[in-house]
Chain A
């Protein structure tokens, strides 16, 4: 064990469907130190999404089975702690930014209703209590933090009334509601146009740095990796094939798979231009 905020040790997961079992994660280990920004990169099917879901406790059993390993958060193993304890952490201490702003918001409830509900049950799990008015105040506050101009109007809106970029901001705000320490971002903005995605990534990075959060960025896009993380884990076929500081990885990739990945990226001109982050998508 080490002093990382999140530490995954030798995690193995298999899926069984129609009587067949497939091992989708093999001995995955990774560390997310407090206040660090790491990336988990890989193609579709590499196991990065399963890793994320295992950490968040979102795998469906069946078909998934965790066949081995530990996931430590703040020194405690999430896999062996009582379910109630674990629920206390989900959406509060560790929170997720969802990928697709078009499909991740419930279309038939207002933003205010959805955020208020999340906050209400987060409070309840943590044994806090807050009145409706205070809850809405907090919702408005967080919407302000994600640079929404008119929080009152946003809370009264249904998702269909907002643009993709605004919805993505709402999704970030949802993750921030209960002041998490760890933010897991699942390719935020991939569904948006390049300019909007760049704004979203910039916002996310600023927020993480301002409040000293740890960020785990899940992506298939090496441009995003370069812009948002200082340490990278590369996954392929359920295995971590390489992990190193970001700059080093780009300078001299060791694993053939990483090389192939980097080779596949259209050349990015240097500098810190976020506008190019989505170019490889």
Chain B
């Protein structure tokens, strides 16, 4: 019951953020100096053609009405037409988003699977070598630009060691079209094509590592400090006095409350992760939203660009909603207070 209330509150919150986001995007789109219709049609178009397009795009109506139309479009999931591909922006984004989604999910998994144990180890052996190692790793992962790390990985694993592919999602000669979820690893599993799954993972590995490094470092660092923080709490001392063995104390009583800060960090920094995904995709020629976004920007394809921004924002909001629910699940204090 309390969990339901908590959930409703969080969803309402997210909707509010989305409304704000739509306003920001609309504002940017209308800041265009000059005429979007003229810009789209180019200098050779006649005045009549421009007027026609203005009418079609609704540019002659009052600004509030235009925003209304924009939001109505968004609510229907209609992002307009791309001037570059001459297809609905929805279709373009749907085709490219799944690749980005697969990359980002793999990144989050990597960041947690490595970041949390590293943080636990650093806290357990505080001020000894594991701690120092984690500290150095965390600092370097935070200050290495992801595009640079991507390039270095490409040189090392691709050109020097020749162990992993450096571009794309699948080998060019591999036939596979499933489009169930759009995630090659999942689709491969669903279709029983283990070869596809393995290849997809091989192609996924380098981009995911390049993108995960920064987040992993942050997670390790924050897990470390929150484990240390929790370990000095009275309730840990109490469980020690009651004879609860150390593994239970560390992996149950300390780790669970320590999980909240890394989750929160991931939520806060998720936007910068999406941003980095753009550059990493570019380096590895990953057929995601980034390549589409960058191509459309150079063509001043406004609808497409706004669609990309909006989808990034929605992605952020949804991920944060999931994180909030997870945090509420991990820490009852959050959901009990949050429901009031």
Contacts and interface: CB of A to CB of B under 8 A. Distances in A.
A258 B265 CA distance: 53
A146 to B, nearest CB: 16
B241 to A, nearest CB: 5
Interface in A95-124: 95-96, 98-100, 103-109, 114, 117-118, 121-122
B253 interface: yes
A106 B330 contact: no
Contacts of B238: 96, 98, 104-105, 171, 174
Contacts of B332: 107-108, 158, 160
A171 B330 CA distance: 23
A30 to B, nearest CB: 19
B333 A106 contact: no
B93 to A, nearest CB: 39
Given A108-B331, A158-B332, A58 B244 contact: no
Nearest to B240: A58
A158 B336 CA distance: 10
A95 B257 CA distance: 25
A58 B243 contact: no
Interface string B211-242: 00000000000000000000001111111111
Interface stretch (A85-93, A233-241, A248-256): A85-93
A107 B242 contact: no
A109 B333 CA distance: 10
Interface string B252-277: 11001100000000000000000000
A90 B244 CA distance: 10
Contact of A160 (B235, B239, B330, B333): B333
A91 B238 CA distance: 10
A161 interface: yes
Contacts of B233: 103
B235 A121 contact: no
- Which of under 10, 10 to 19, 20 to 34, or 35 or more describes the interface residues of A? 20 to 34
Contact of A118 (B234, B236, B243): B243
A161 B243 CA distance: 25
A58 B242 CA distance: 10
A125 interface: yes
Contacts of A99: 234
Nearest to A177: B242
B57 interface: no
Nearest to B259: A108
A256 B240 CA distance: 37
A222 interface: no
A121 B257 contact: no
A58 B333 CA distance: 29
Nearest to A96: B241
B45 interface: no
A240 B130 CA distance: 43
A100 B237 CA distance: 12
A56 interface: yes
A95 B240 CA distance: 11
B248 interface: yes
Nearest to A175: B242
Contacts of A87: 243
A125 to B, nearest CB: 6
A174 B333 contact: no
B308 to A, nearest CB: 39
Interface of A: 56, 58, 87, 90-92, 95-96, 98-100, 103-109, 114, 117-118, 121-122, 125, 158, 160-161, 171, 174-175, 177
3 closest residue pairs by CB, A with B: A91-B243, A91-B242, A103-B234
11 contacts: A87-B243, A90-B241, A96-B238, A103-B233, A104-B234, A106-B235, A107-B332, A114-B239, A158-B333, A160-B333, A175-B242
